[in-house]
A = this chain, B = another copy of it.
């Protein structure tokens, strides 16, 4: 019998009606001849609500207690889902992360999965139960509740699919899958049938928040194929998998946009060991996340170091860097806000040359100025004016023919 792991996010179980819909879907899957494990997130808004309560009683909530508090959201949602399945005449049972055998390290609020002992789940599946697992949580060897970090239910599902050797892992969400670009930006964006783990990781890092990166990394490490699809309709979604030769035929898989970025340049700084480290340790100490980093060629012993951060962090970063600029005798600190990052991602870049120049020419012809360029093996990212970014995304989408991509023939079909 096929074994399928389905994960439902907070929106999918956001109210009683949606929980009943999920229950119906689980039963349908079972009736199609599958053993079913469902991983359930907290009802939409619940986790935020609990975090707010925690901060209302404590300026810095004890992490052990925060884990106990947050885990209640998934416990409640999974119990409700099990009830809803039972109410429809099938047989379901809810289990906590601990009961599901998910063993983690002791790092509260962002624990890593150390091991999964799936005996309990397998015993329940053998008794024909639909097993409803509270996502996002596990326990330490001492039996303390831990949580896996924001979006950790994706990780729960993929890890369980891996250890159970599931025939399919479906991540249900409120979008139809992974798109060539955000359809709110590019109206003829197409849903992808397939995406490689690496592409999905680069897209996630570039603003397409479909999946938690750690979950995708875990899937890549253990070779767990999974499908991202909508819980609101029956459409097939996007299958994420190890790349295949045929995937390289497509040069660019998708375009991601990150808005509200700011660029900082430390101008004419001495090109000496330790300078970059000095700059970025100051920024890191201020809990500011740095995205792109570009260092220009050294001339006469000096160089420019540019990087992007979220616009909201700009003032803090400038203040933190002022003494460093002085200390390192740099010429100055140039700040530029109102910019956005546009990334094109595709494993096809490895075997197709000229992608970058084609992209730059496309932007140049449209009079769109590029402030910063950064490339990886399968991604080209540029920083441009935020006011240009929608037009740029549309032009590049068209240039690379993303709207007219024929659906790829996939060796592993997503489950209908």
Answer yes or no: A233 CB below 8 A from chain B CBs: no
B57 touches A87 (CB 8 A): yes
**Measured between alpha carbons, how far is A54 from B78 in the docked complex, in Å?**
11
Chain A residues engaging chain B, CB cutoff 8 angstroms: 16, 19-20, 23, 50, 53-54, 56-62, 64-66, 68-69, 71-73, 75-76, 78-84, 86-87, 93-94, 99, 143
B79 touches A69 (CB 8 A): yes
> Beyond A57-B19, A57-B84, is A72–B62 a contact (Cβ under 8 Å)?
no
A64 touches B93 (CB 8 A): yes
A68 touches B87 (CB 8 A): no
Most buried by B among A20, A60, A65: A65
Q: A73 → chain B, closest Cβ, in Å?
A: 8
Q: Which residue of B lies closest to A18 (CB)?
A: B57
> Beyond A72-B76, A80-B53, is A65–B94 a contact (Cβ under 8 Å)?
yes
**Measured between alpha carbons, how far is A20 from B57 in the docked complex, in Å?**
6
The contact sample of 9 A-B pairs, CB cut-off 8 A, is A16-B57, A62-B82, A65-B86, A65-B93, A68-B94, A69-B75, A69-B76, A71-B75, A72-B73
**Measured between alpha carbons, how far is A62 from B88 in the docked complex, in Å?**
12
**Measured between alpha carbons, how far is A64 from B62 in the docked complex, in Å?**
30
B53 touches A65 (CB 8 A): no
**Measured between alpha carbons, how far is A315 from B176 in the docked complex, in Å?**
54
A54 touches B72 (CB 8 A): no
**Measured between alpha carbons, how far is A19 from B99 in the docked complex, in Å?**
30
Given the complex, which residues of B lie within 8 Å of A87, measured CB to CB?
Answer: 57-61
Given the complex, which residues of B lie within 8 Å of A86, measured CB to CB?
Answer: 58, 62, 65
Question: How many copies are assembled?
Answer: 2
Beyond the given A20-B57, A58-B86, please list 6 additional residue pairs across the A-B interface where CB-CB is below 8 A.
A19-B57, A58-B83, A58-B84, A65-B82, A69-B76, A72-B73
Q: A57 → chain B, closest Cβ, in Å?
A: 4
A79 touches B83 (CB 8 A): no
Given the complex, which residues of B lie within 8 Å of A54, measured CB to CB?
Answer: 80, 83
Given the complex, which residues of B lie within 8 Å of A71, measured CB to CB?
Answer: 75
Q: A19 → chain B, closest Cβ, in Å?
A: 5
Given the complex, which residues of B lie within 8 Å of A53, measured CB to CB?
Answer: 16, 76, 80
**Measured between alpha carbons, how far is A41 from B81 in the docked complex, in Å?**
24
Given the complex, which residues of B lie within 8 Å of A65, measured CB to CB?
Answer: 79-80, 82-83, 86, 93-94
**Measured between alpha carbons, how far is A76 from B46 in the docked complex, in Å?**
12
Most buried by B among A23, A61, A79, A94: A79
**Measured between alpha carbons, how far is A54 from B86 in the docked complex, in Å?**
12
**Measured between alpha carbons, how far is A177 from B1 in the docked complex, in Å?**
62
**Measured between alpha carbons, how far is A61 from B94 in the docked complex, in Å?**
13
Task: Name the contact of A80 in the complex, choosing from B57, B76, B99 (C-beta under 8 A).
Answer: B57
Q: A9 → chain B, closest Cβ, in Å?
A: 17
B76 touches A61 (CB 8 A): no
Most buried by B among A75, A78, A99: A75
Given the complex, which residues of B lie within 8 Å of A75, measured CB to CB?
Answer: 68-69, 71-72, 75
Given the complex, which residues of B lie within 8 Å of A72, measured CB to CB?
Answer: 72-73, 75-76, 79
Q: Which residue of B lies closest to A74 (CB)?
A: B72
Q: A79 → chain B, closest Cβ, in Å?
A: 4
Q: A129 → chain B, closest Cβ, in Å?
A: 12
Q: A118 → chain B, closest Cβ, in Å?
A: 17
Given the complex, which residues of B lie within 8 Å of A62, measured CB to CB?
Answer: 82-83, 86
